[in-house]
Amino acid sequence: MNANFLQTPITYLKGVGPHRAQILQSELGIGTYQDLLNLFPNRYIDKTQYYTIGQLQRSNADVQIVGKIIHLKTVEQKKGKRLVATFVDDTGEMELVWFRGQKWIRENLKLNIPYVIFGRCNWYNGKFSMPHPEMELLTEHEKGLKITMQPIYPSTEKLGNSGITNRVINKLQQQLFIETKARFRETLSDSLLHDLKLITKSEALFNIHFPKDQALLAKAQFRLKFEELFYLQFQLISKKMLRKQKIKGFNFDQVGERFNDFYKNHLPFELTNAQKRVIKEIRADLGSNAQMNRLLQGDVGSGKTIVALMTMLLAIDNDYQACLMAPTEILANQHFNGIKELLEDMGVRIALLTGSTKKSERNIIHQQLESGELHILIGTHALLEDKVKYKNLGLAIVDEQHRFGVAQRSKLWHKNEFPPHILVMTATPIPRTLAMSLYGDLDISVIDELPPGRKAIKTVHRYDSNRLKVFGFIKDEIKKGRQIYVVYPLIQESEALDYKDLMDGYESIARDFPLPEYQISIVHGKMKPADKDYEMERFVKGETQIMVATTVIEVGVNVPNASVMIIESAERFGLSQLHQLRGRVGRGADQSYCILMTSHKLSSEAKTRLETMVRTNDGFEIAEVDLKLRGPGDLMGTQQSGILNLRIADIVKDNDILKTARHYAIKILKEDPGLEKPENLILRHTYAQIVKQKNIWNYIS
């Protein structure tokens, strides 16, 4: 089938017309024959089996039965009437019931003629009954296109109200297959079809819409899922290979005096093996003549900042400038203060640029950047402003990358004639599955070991009824000189309720931990920023022992002396948030604890989250569980960077197919990067079509 034919506007398909076309476009995004073809069912009703009335179970399942109507009657009820038919086969009898459309049904039903009925059975008054069954004369049923398994397509309220039912969409698909003669151009090479024993594209499309049985449906799904994931991986990997060939990077060939001086004389602790390995990977990138584009993953407290700093020193030793961009002012300030302290006495000039920076200071920063006097600039989104110009930016580091969109990242690239090396850092562990799909165009480094002297945090789950014991434990920790966090959930819609929970909690803690023996800080969203900072500061300095807060403390507060994190109503938090909050303690050498407080009423998903937290401290394992519970869209957050708009594949459930697709994409691109071999021309053609219609960033919104 000519691919251009599939670009025909849907209006021209028999049975559609302008009005239906408009609704299909607005509700399901269907504008062409191709779009309709790619509207895949999201489930199927199995019509491969016929039941007898004697076989029926009280299971509430959809069943299909062959029999005859022998009697019809109208029954009066409190509101209106119902029409009841007696339906029989050789094994027994049941009732068919209609509450509406009775006149039409009464006029059109034929008695004592075989029908095939389909619907959900109820057990009512000692016999089976089926309300509003789908009905077809047996003679018609045997003539029709054998759709033995009925596909159920995605729908919306508006579609239903406009009369575009599942049946209508099914009819439109049949019409489409008639007009195209069910012949579609193949999109995968013979060798892929052969190696993976895949069915052809035409067979796959036919069997996804009109499967005869479960086995054919499974083959069609596998074929279409593989194809979708294969081209997604193909695009990511070819982008990466192309970038390495084309985009020349600045060559940092010196490991110079500042890097060595810092390593020998200023490093406050021994690097872990994981940190050494990552620095080695980065150094190889920086000396390869190609632009670095690397994702650095490491759990909270694994020492990513030191790696970032040493990478910046490599840039400075090669006469380039470096910048570090963080998503919030708190985090930017923390990076600035931490790095400034580490670089004291080293003659490296460093500045901080955020929304709060005064205009006079800004002007000085702008001048020093352009003259090259300034070596390192740390800040928030303010670094992206057009006014910010560098003399020679060689390295850009982005912290917590998922909070910045692709467009913002590329703004940093264009600060120079040549793009700087890019290092993206995240403390939100991204499961390998997602990393392969979302960041398949980046090289990935992982710091998977904690600095020496750090003890693993002990996590326990306690019910509200154990509160007195928990308070006793807190008192013991405070006696040892430790500090405590107590965190309450914050969910925008119920801010007033959350605020009440927080204040009630604060009052009960104040009763059990009275002045002057105990000092308590409180921080929440309704406070003025200055008051928040004041309270935070008191806790950081150790003037208060307990910090009662909402989740504002999730990112970037570093108090090594805090050893207990109590999370109230822990069932209301997501897994990654629980893990991030737990990472606020365990920053010193003392044993730290995380106590998850909940009521006794817990959903099974909440139980899974709490059990996972108690079982493991491994951020990657937690991220995998989170991905299974929430799916990829929720995990990355819609407004951020990660909904994968896949038509049929699911990167969590189809992880094995994803790995296979990636393996073949890499193999083919290594052997034939330009897809010039005769057997790969089909891939080249299909890939060109996909890129024309749908860029990779449409997949990764």
CATH number of the CATH domain containing 282: 3.40.50.300
For residues 311 and 396, membership in a common domain is answered with yes
98 forms beta bridges with 83
**Stronger pLDDT, 437 or 77, i.e. the higher one:** 77
pLDDT over 90, % of the chain: 51
Within a domain: residue 560? yes
The predicted structure's pLDDT at residue 596: 97
The predicted structure's pLDDT at residue 631: 63
Report the pLDDT averaged over residues 155-174: 90
Within a domain: residue 418? yes
The predicted structure's pLDDT at residue 698: 45
| Distance between CA atoms of residues 647 and 205, nearest Å | 13
State pLDDT tens for residues 298-312.
Answer: 877 788 899 999 999
Q: Is the pLDDT of residue 632 over 60?
A: no
Q: Look up the domain containing 396 and give its range.
A: 257-286+303-426
For residues 413 and 487, membership in a common domain is answered with no
Q: Identify the domain boundary among 112, 146, 180.
A: 146
Q: Is the pLDDT of residue 49 over 90?
A: no
Q: Identify the domain boundary among 568, 595, 616.
A: 616
The predicted structure's pLDDT at residue 413: 63
Q: Identify the burial level of 249 via C-beta atoms within 10 angstroms of its C-beta, where 0-12 means exposed, 13-18 middle and 19 or more buried.
A: buried
* Residue 507 binned pLDDT confidence (cut-offs 50, 70, 90): very high
Q: Which of 275-289, 396-410, 654-668 has the lowest mean pLDDT?
A: 396-410
The predicted structure's pLDDT at residue 30: 94
The predicted structure's pLDDT at residue 577: 85
Q: Is the pLDDT of residue 111 over 80?
A: yes
Please list, in sequence order, all residues whose beta carbon lies within 8 angstroms of the beta carbon of residue 256, skipping any fewer than 6 positions away: 314, 317, 318
Report the pLDDT averaged over residues 636-656: 62
* Residue 701 binned pLDDT confidence (cut-offs 50, 70, 90): very low
pLDDT over 70, % of the chain: 90
Q: Is the pLDDT of residue 433 over 70?
A: no
* Residue 269 binned pLDDT confidence (cut-offs 50, 70, 90): confident
Q: Is the pLDDT of residue 280 over 70?
A: yes
Rounded alpha-carbon distances, angstroms, from residue 264 to 279, 309, 573, 622: 15, 14, 43, 36
Q: Identify the domain boundary among 408, 426, 444.
A: 426
* Residue 643 binned pLDDT confidence (cut-offs 50, 70, 90): very low
Q: Is the pLDDT of residue 636 over 50?
A: no
Rounded alpha-carbon distances, angstroms, from residue 689 to 5, 178, 184, 193, 669: 14, 24, 14, 20, 18
| Distance between CA atoms of residues 114 and 137, nearest Å | 6
CA dihedral 342, 347, 349, 350 (to 10 degrees): 0
For residues 469 and 421, membership in a common domain is answered with no
The predicted structure's pLDDT at residue 168: 92
The predicted structure's pLDDT at residue 356: 86
Report the pLDDT averaged over residues 462-466: 93
Q: Which of 137-146, 375-384, 490-499, 675-684 has the lowest mean pLDDT?
A: 490-499
The predicted structure's pLDDT at residue 638: 33
* Residue 639 binned pLDDT confidence (cut-offs 50, 70, 90): very low
The predicted structure's pLDDT at residue 86: 96
Task: Provide the 10 A C-beta neighbour count for residue 340.
Answer: 15
For residues 420 and 489, membership in a common domain is answered with no
Question: Long-range pairs for 369-376 at CB < 8 Å and ≥24 separation?
Answer: 369/321, 372/321, 373/349, 374/321, 374/349, 374/350, 375/312, 375/316, 375/321, 375/322, 375/348, 375/349, 375/350, 376/312, 376/316, 376/321, 376/322, 376/323, 376/324, 376/339, 376/348, 376/349, 376/350, 376/351
State pLDDT tens for residues 122-134.
Answer: 888 888 999 999 8
State pLDDT tens for residues 317-338.
Answer: 999 999 999 887 878 888 999 8
Q: Is the pLDDT of residue 316 over 50?
A: yes
The predicted structure's pLDDT at residue 1: 59
Within a domain: residue 352? yes
Q: Is the pLDDT of residue 27 over 90?
A: yes
With both helix axes pointing from N to C terminus, report the angle between 575-582 and 604-615 in degrees, rounded to the nearest 10: 30
Within a domain: residue 668? no
For residues 406 and 481, membership in a common domain is answered with no
For residues 308 and 393, membership in a common domain is answered with yes
State pLDDT tens for residues 383-396.
Answer: 888 888 999 999 99
Within a domain: residue 630? no
**N residues, the chain:** 701
Within a domain: residue 402? yes
For residues 473 and 611, membership in a common domain is answered with yes
Angle subtended at Cα 489 by Cα 604 and Cα 462, rounded to the nearest 5 degrees: 55
Q: Which of 523-532, 545-554, 625-634 has the lowest mean pLDDT?
A: 625-634
Q: Is the pLDDT of residue 504 over 90?
A: no
Structural element, H or E, at residue 68:
strand 62-76
For residues 476 and 565, membership in a common domain is answered with yes
The predicted structure's pLDDT at residue 491: 54
Which position has the token pair 């599942």? Answer: 166
The predicted structure's pLDDT at residue 419: 83
State pLDDT tens for residues 562-574.
Answer: 999 999 999 988 8
Q: Is the pLDDT of residue 592 over 90?
A: yes
DSSP result, 406-427: HHHHHHHHTTSSSPPEEEEEES
* Residue 438 binned pLDDT confidence (cut-offs 50, 70, 90): low
The predicted structure's pLDDT at residue 421: 92
Chain center to CA of 156: 23
Within a domain: residue 383? yes
DSSP annotation of 115: E
For residues 414 and 472, membership in a common domain is answered with no
| E-assigned strand segments in 178-222 | none
546-549: strand order across its sheet: 458-463, 593-598, 562-567, 483-487, 546-549, 520-523
**Stronger pLDDT, 629 or 169, i.e. the higher one:** 169
For residues 371 and 511, membership in a common domain is answered with no
Q: What total number of domains does the chain contain?
A: 3
Within a domain: residue 488? yes
What mean pLDDT is reported for the chain?
A: 86
Q: Is the pLDDT of residue 199 over 90?
A: yes
Closest by alpha carbon to 299, among 197, 458, 449?
449
483 forms beta bridges with 562
For residues 416 and 475, membership in a common domain is answered with no
**Stronger pLDDT, 632 or 83, i.e. the higher one:** 83
For residues 412 and 514, membership in a common domain is answered with no
